[in-house]
Structure formats: structure tokens, C-alpha cells
Structure 1
Amino acid sequence: MKIVIVDDEPLARERLRRMIEPFPGYEVVGEAGDGESALRCLHNTAADTVLLDVHMPGMDGLQVARALAESDVPPAVIFITAHSEHALSAHNSHAAGYLLKPVRRDDLAAALSRARRPSRAQLAALEDNASTDRPAFVSARTRDGIERVAVADILYFWADQKYTTVYHMQGELLIEQSLLTLEQSLGGAFMRVHRKALVACRHITGLRLDGPDGASLTLRHVRDGVPVSRRRLADVRALLEK
């Protein structure tokens, strides 16, 4: 596992590096002292995991994590903070773990072990690559001919009466396929979260509670949340907590 350490304090970075060195199977491939440098380092090293300080001047750790979430397969994020009040924000960001300073060796080892488990985005990508019988495109007949959208570019489907709207990276497309047919053909890379909504797991960034009886998913590249029905809420929580 390739790890990048991000902390504005050089001594803190050095301490984490020394703690990781004896762990078999882990390699520190980069360090950064601020958020912008961290993003560049993670891009250049293609690290699997980032140890990310929450409180940094300028771009803080939570902002870095939100930027990383825009990647198709983001690295696992383990937040590190000296302030317990930041732990809740880190936890709500669906990170692989969060640790309080001073970090204990056993806690760090446990967090890194959890981070080794493939994320939902990684599993979805593997599923897509391994599958040969699932469609690579969704097509629709239009007045100009046939238009198709790559499944990899689809954010979610929304059913309304006889048509289904495909929301994708480049816009929208109306198709006649039902959500049930799409769900069966596309497999585990998409999840039914509402009787009207089927979402791409790789683009889910979080769950927002809208009140005692309501919830919605936040997705990359989507401004408004996608509703989650009460009967689907437990399944959505289970997906996000893995």
C-alpha cells in the first residue's frame, strides 16, 4: 500500500513516517505540508491512502478530502486531528478512519488495515472491468437518430411515468427502459435508492438527512441531492459505511 502523509508540521510527518516503517506491506511515497501540495503529490504518486491532517492553514484537510472525492477512484482517507471537535466532521466525511493526536501505533495500524479493504468505488471499477456481458452504453432513439451514453459517464437514472431520464456527465437523455431492467442489466455498479432513482455507486459522496423522515444522497457533479426512500435507507447506510 502506497501512503502519502499530509501535515503542516514537519515533526508530525516524520513521526508518522517512523511509525509506518516497521509495518510490512506499507510504503510512504510522499509528504506534503499544505492542501494544494497534497493534491499534487497524490496525483503524481497515485497513492492508495492518505494520512490527512484536518487543521491546516489555507486549504484544510476536509477541503482536500472533498477535492479527492471528485476522482473516479479516490484514495482512502484517514483523518488525523489534534482537536476532538473535528473528529465528528471527519467521521461524517465517510473517511476510512480518523485518529486523534498524539497518534498511537496500534490505532494507526488498525486504521491502515481498514483502509486496505477495497472501497465501493474500487469494487465498482473492478466489476466494470471484469464484466463482459454488461452493456457499455445506454442508447435512446431521438428525432436525429440514435444517441448513446457510456455507462461510465452516468451519474443516476430518474424514472417518471413512461420515461426514464439518464443524468450523465454531458447532460441528460430520455430513454424508455424501466429502472428494473436497468438495475438487472447494469449490476452492482448501480444501486436502487428510491422507487424512482437508480444511482452510480462510484459517484456517491455522502448521505444527507433532510429531517426525521427524509434523506438524500449527494453525488459528484450533481447540484441537488437524490432522494432516498425510507425502505432503502438502511441499505444506503450499509453501503456508505463499508
Structure 2
Amino acid sequence: MSTPAQPASSPHDRSTDKPCIRALVVDDEPLARDELIFLLEQCGDVVIVGQAEDAPDALRLLDAARPDVAFVDLRMPGPDGIALTEAIKARQPDVAVVIVSAHDDAALRAFDARALDYLLKPVRLERLRATLSRLRESLAAHAPERPSAPPAERELLTRLAVRRRGAYVIVDVSDILFFETKDELVWAVTPDDRYALDLTLARLEEQLDPELFFRSHRGALVRLDRIRSIEPKGQGLFELVMEHPDAPRVALARDRTKHLRERIPFAG
């Protein structure tokens, strides 16, 4: 049985007056739903807009609840979490889906279905916070673009001081090929090294020159003039091969391909 949003839920975080993350929780076990909802409520800026016990209930709630994210149990009666993920993406592509499971054997299938993340039960609060951080970055990356401030009013990031072995190493932004998230950290990659940063990709995107850097994926920010080639992966997907001795490949999200074509026309 589906449960709509509670009227008392607030769509804003009162401490910041920013919109909250709207979450739909889908699990056939009431105790599991309650436990996940409890953890989500500890994160401060999440409002539960609905609960469902199976895929049909979740799809009936989808349009009315308007979630930003659906937390979906993998194994449920009827269509499983992967099938529900595919159905949600077909109906509302902008809704993120996080698969929750006691087993790790379906992670690849979940990501193939375009799940944002895959959480193992019992869900840890720290791991859930990391997932929500990725979701915030994804929501920011796909939010309507605001006009950039005039160059005279906007100070762009040109150097980074990165802590390493007790000292701070100065890294010129002009030397950085791309930024990526890996192992829950953000890394700056240069031709000679890689540096762990205490910054989010969303914050970097705000401070870097938008003429030079491009958000190719929720987990990557690349320098346009350091892309060596754009290689097809099949099914309309591409990878960006960077100018680096190891020729690292950076994912290009399907919904970012059009934007890249506007920046680098595909002439062939």
C-alpha cells in the first residue's frame, strides 16, 4: 500500500531556507522502510514525500509525490528494484534512483539501469550522507543555468593549495586535465600527478572558468582543451580520452552529450 507525503513535511530546510531533497522510499518490509526514513531524517535537508511497498504502488505515487530521488529495495514481490528503476527512468528521467539491498550481486545491473548509487543493508548513516552529497551535486549540475556574473565581478580559481605530507603544494589550475570523484573523494588530475581535494565538484564548477571546464558527468569535470578524443562506447554513449601519458577515459553522460556538441561540434 502506498503512503503519500505527510502534510507536516516541509519542502525547505529551515536552517538554510534551501529546498529540501524530496525522497520516495520503496520497500515491502515496513521495518526496513522505517529504518531508512529514520536515517534520512538525520540528514537534515531530506523530506519524505511518500512510501510504497512495491513497484506498482511506487509508480502510482511518482507523479503526485514529485520526488528528487527514490530509494528502492532490490528484492520485492512483483517487479524487482531494477525493473522499477528502469520504469522510473522511462517516466521521469530526472528522478535519481538509489538501490538498497542486503546483497552486492546486482550492483552492475543497477548502474546499467542508471541508478545513482547502490547501498548495502544495513545502511550506515555515513554512507547515506555520501550518497546524498552525490545527489546534491547531480541536482546542481542539472539545475537551470543562471547567467554568469560579468568577468569583472567574478574571481575565477587559478591556483589550489593542496595539503600533502604536512605541507601545502601549489597546483596551477592550468595544469589540471580533469577533476573526478573516486572512493568518495574529489581528485585533481594533472599529467604528472593526482591530488585529493577538500572541495566538491559543485563548488569547483562555480569557481572555475566555464569557458575552459565542462561537467561531463555527475562525477567528472574536464578541461575542454585537454580532450584528446571522443570515443563511442555503443548505444549512443561516449568516453572522453584525455591528454595524459596513460590516456585516462572520462565518462560522458548521455544527457551531457548535446551540451558537449555545442562546445565542441562533432564535424564528422
TM-score class, shorter: 0.5 to 0.7
The aligned residue for residue 162 of structure 1 is none
Point out the more displaced range, 114-123 or 68-77.
Answer: 114-123
The aligned residue for residue 233 of structure 2 is 215
After superposition, the Cα gap between the structure-2 partners of 1:93 and 1:120, relative to the gap in structure 1 and judged at 3 Å, is farther
The aligned residue for residue 83 of structure 2 is 63
The aligned residue for residue 239 of structure 1 is 253
Q: Please tell me the residue identity of whatever aligns with 2:71.
A: L
Q: Does 1:111 align with 2:131?
A: yes
Select the structure that is richer in helix: 1
SS at match of 1:110: helix
Q: Does 1:122 align with 2:142?
A: yes
- The residue correspondences of 1:1-242 to structure 2 (distance < 5 A) are 1-71=21-91, 73-118=93-138, 122-123=142-143, 126=144, 215-217=233-235, 226=236, 234=249, 237-239=251-253
Counterpart Cα distance in 1 of 2:255 and 2:42: 29
Q: Report the aligned-residue RMSD.
A: 3.6
> Residues 2-28 of structure 1, C-alpha deviation per residue, up to 9 Å, x if partnerless?
101001111100101111222211111
After superposition, the Cα gap between the structure-2 partners of 1:120 and 1:73, relative to the gap in structure 1 and judged at 3 Å, is farther
Q: Please tell me the residue identity of whatever aligns with 2:34.
A: E
Counterpart Cα distance in 1 of 2:108 and 2:254: 16
> Residues 33-79 of structure 1, C-alpha deviation per residue, up to 9 Å, x if partnerless?
00011111122110111111111111111111111112354311111
Counterpart Cα distance in 2 of 1:88 and 1:80: 13
Number of residues of Structure 1 aligned to a counterpart in Structure 2: 153
After superposition, the Cα gap between the structure-2 partners of 1:119 and 1:71, relative to the gap in structure 1 and judged at 3 Å, is farther
SS at match of 1:80: strand
Counterpart Cα distance in 2 of 1:216 and 1:19: 39
Identity %: 33
Q: Gaps spanning 5+ residues in structure 1: where?
A: 131-200, 202-212, 218-225
After superposition, the Cα gap between the structure-2 partners of 1:89 and 1:36, relative to the gap in structure 1 and judged at 3 Å, is same
Contact 2:99 2:119 in 1 (8 A): yes
